[in-house]
Copies of this chain bind each other. A is one copy, B any other.
Amino acid sequence: MRLTSFTDYALRVLLYTAAHEEQLTTIAEIQKTFDISKGHLMKVVHLLSTEGYLHAVRGRSGGIRLGKAPEEINLGQLVRLTEPDFRLAECFGQENHCIISQFCKLPGPFNQALDAFFETLDGHSLKDMMLTRDIFGPTVERTFPQRGSSFDLGTETV
């Protein structure tokens, strides 16, 4: 069970941009900070701009800034936007050949589980997640803890 790196990058772009609200941010700056693919990042910024999450200023000294207040950027709504699909089983997609599709009872609990997932995210906004500007800077000593759920491979929880 995964979310795409598209969603991951969208969240990083918004966190970075939110922490640098006093100036315009550039894609190059975010790319350098996180050391992630520029092509991928451009697609993310394009979608977030189209959907009003970012405001893009064109020109030589252009860049991006948040298009909404951080408290108006809801995590659940964002992930619904950035994920390409929510295919928990073959019958959730358009290419469905499963012969028990019209009888199967599994979509009930799976759709409920998906709803519960998004209801949780719906309770949080970018404002709750904001980091200070210095965290993105070069002087911070960094560690790379695994932050996944405790039942995943027996690793540490948050």
Interface residues in chain A, defined as those with a beta carbon under 8 Å from any beta carbon in chain B: 1-5, 7-8, 11-12, 15, 33-35, 75, 79-80, 83, 85-94, 96-121, 123-124, 128-131, 135-136, 140, 142-149, 151-153, 157-158
Copies in the complex: 2
Q: How far is the CA of A100 from the CA of B142 in the complex (A)?
A: 8
Is A8 within 8 A of B90, CB to CB?
yes
The answer, among B83, B98, B108, B157, for a CB contact under 8 Å with A1, is B83
Contact of A92 among B88, B96, B131, B149 (CB under 8 A): B149
Q: A86-B152, A158-B111 are in contact. Are A128 and B105 (CB under 8 A)?
A: yes
Q: How far is the CB of A149 from chain B (nearest CB, A)?
A: 5
Is the beta-carbon distance between A153 and B85 smaller than 8 angstroms? yes
Known: A120-B109, A124-B109, A147-B107. A90 touches B5 (CB 8 A): yes
Which residues from chain B contact A94 at a C-beta distance below 8 Å?
A: 146
Bound Cα distance from A120 to B7, whole angstroms: 24
Interchain CB contact under 8 A, B129 and A120: no
Q: Which B residues are CB-close (under 8 A) to A145?
A: 91, 96, 101-102
Q: Which 7 A-B pairs have the closest CB atoms?
A: A92-B148, A107-B147, A113-B120, A116-B116, A91-B147, A117-B117, A109-B124
